[in-house]
Amino acid sequence: MKRVLIIVSSAAGLCFMGSLVAAAQAGTVPGQTEVAAVCQKCHGPTGDSVSPVYPRLNAQQADYIVAQLEAFRGHRRDDTRARGYMWVIAHDLKDKTIDDVAKYFAGQKPTLPQTGGALAAEGQVLFMNGEPAKGITACQQCHGRNGEGSGSVPRIAGQHSAYFRMVMGGFQLGLRKNESMRAVTKNMTDRQIEALSSYLSND
Give per-residue pLDDT as tens, 39-57. 999 999 999 999 999 999 9
Where helices occur in the chain by DSSP H, the ranges are: 2-24, 32-34, 40-43, 62-73, 80-81, 87-90, 95-106, 120-129, 140-143, 161-173, 179-185, 190-200
At 9, which amino acid appears?
S
What pLDDT is recorded for position 115?
76
Q: Are residues 83 and 124 in the same domain?
A: no
Q: Are residues 11 and 65 in the same domain?
A: yes
Give 136's Cβ-side CA count (13 Å radius).
Answer: 21
Report the domain count for the chain: 2
Q: Report the alpha-carbon angle 150-171-74, nearest 5.
A: 70
pLDDT in tens, 140-177: 999 999 999 999 999 999 999 999 999 999 999 999 99
Q: Report the alpha-carbon angle 64-133-155, nearest 5.
A: 15
Contact between residue 66 and residue 98 where contact means Cβ atoms under 8 Å apart:
yes
Q: How confident is the model at residue 7 (pLDDT cuts 50, 70, 90)?
A: very low
Looking only at Cα atoms, what is the longest distance across the chain?
57
Q: State yes or no: pLDDT of 129 exceeds 70.
A: yes
Q: Are residues 45 and 128 in the same domain?
A: no
Domain at 86, CATH number: 1.10.760.10
Q: What is the DSSP letter of 133?
A: G
pLDDT in tens, 61-112: 999 999 999 999 999 999 998 999 999 999 999 999 999 999 999 999 999 9
What pLDDT is recorded for position 11?
45
What pLDDT is recorded for position 29?
77
At 97, which amino acid appears?
T
Mean pLDDT of 3-10: 42
Q: State yes or no: pLDDT of 184 exceeds 90.
A: yes
Q: How confident is the model at residue 17 (pLDDT cuts 50, 70, 90)?
A: very low
Q: State yes or no: pLDDT of 118 exceeds 90.
A: no
What pLDDT is recorded for position 30?
87
**Domain housing 156:** 120-200
Q: Are residues 158 and 80 in the same domain?
A: no
Residue 190's nearest CA partner among 180, 198, 178, 200 is: 198
Is 62 part of a structural domain of the chain?
yes
> What region does 111 belong to: left with phi over 0, alpha with psi -120 to 50, or beta?
beta
Q: Are residues 83 and 26 in the same domain?
A: yes
